[in-house]
Amino acid sequence: MHYITDHWLVAWFTLLFIIEFYFYKNNDSLSKKNKHWKVNFLNFLATKSIGYLIIVPLFILASKNSNDFIQHLSFWISIPLGVVILDLSGYIFHRISHEIEFFWRFHEIHHLDEILDVSTSLRVHFLEALFHAILNSLFIYAFGISQESIAVHALLSFLFATYHHSRFKIPVSIEEKLSLLFTTPGFHEPHHDIDIKNNQSNYAFIFPLWDHIFSTYHQDTFKKEWVFGLSYSNDVDAIKSLVKPLSKDAGK
């Protein structure tokens, strides 16, 4: 599999992180930020470890043993088509994570974040990442998605996840138009609202098209301010964020 080297992604994240911190450094207390960063980076390290140990080999296995339904097409068709299919898989899994209690207990960790910034994109519980990878593997196997498509999708997912969780603001009139093509911060904000009725919307990772097709687009997107977190629980510390989904109070 042709992977985009991690140091380029680290460089991208670091650039966004520094710019965002400089412009929005006075928005939250330092103690709140420190807790927030510890949770996010610890979850990232756990998920990254699972990625190298299990998820990457799983994707390679699924791709190598699949049919050539998409892979036999030309490079310029198979790569974009594979990315679109995997993004649809992401939308489906994301929605399932909100609608099925078992999966919500893991996804809840992401929504407990009360500060939305580029580091929030790193806050994915390692077991949630594994469950998501299993669904993606089924799509990879069924449609014959190439390893190159998987790599491009992984790259785009990281780029857009860091961007649409960020605080970067552009004029709403422009962002509304951009959000017809790809997920923007303003588009994603309702999904992190403290009211669980609001966060069951705008599930898209890369392409907001899915929310419009499947009627999960929030009609107040770009029209109001949102408060992040979950109304029924405060955020947790770094260690608890890893073990909470396995406890009795998960998802509550």
- Burial (CB count <10 Å: 0-12, 13-18, 19+), residue 123: buried
Query: In this structure, what are the phi and psi dihedrals at residue 193, rounded to the nearest 5 degrees?
Result: -65, 150
Q: Please state, in angstroms and rounded to a whole number, the distance separating the CA atoms of residues 186 and 184.
A: 6
147-194 per-position pLDDT tens digit: 999 999 999 999 999 999 999 989 999 999 999 999 999 999 999 999
DSSP string, 173-203: HHHHHHTTTS--HHHHGGGGBSSHHHHSS--
Specify the pLDDT at position 63: 94
| CB neighbour burial string for 208-226, b if at least 16 within 10 angstroms, e if fewer | bbbbeeeebbbeebeeeeb
**Contacts of 188 by beta carbon, 8 Å cutoff, 6+ apart:** 164, 165, 202
Mean pLDDT of all residues in 61-86: 92
pLDDT at residue 1 in the model:
46
Radius of gyration of the chain (CA): 18
Q: Please list, in sequence order, all residues whose beta carbon lies within 8 angstroms of the beta carbon of residue 90, skipping any fewer than 6 positions away.
A: 132, 136, 157, 205, 206
Q: Is the pLDDT at 123 greater than 60, yes or no?
A: yes
Entry field: residues in the chain: 252
Q: pLDDT value at position 2?
A: 44
pTM (2 d.p.): 0.92
Residue 251: pLDDT above 80?
Answer: no
pLDDT of residue 34: 85
pLDDT for 247 equals: 84
C-alpha 44/C-alpha 49 separation (Å) is 8
Instruction: Using the predicted structure, report yes or no on whether residue 243 has a pLDDT greater than 50.
Output: yes
Percent of the chain with pLDDT over 90: 80
**Residue pair 111/229 in contact by the 8 Å Cβ criterion:** yes
Task: Please determine, for residue 250, whether its predicted confidence score (pLDDT) is greater than 70.
Answer: no
Yes or no: say if 175 and 222 are a contact pair by the CB < 8 Å rule: yes
SS3 226: coil
**Residue spans of alpha helices (H) in 112-195:** 126-143, 147-164, 172-178, 185-188
Q: How far apart are CA 84 and CA 149, in angstroms?
A: 10
Q: Is the pLDDT assigned to residue 248 strictly greater than 80?
A: no
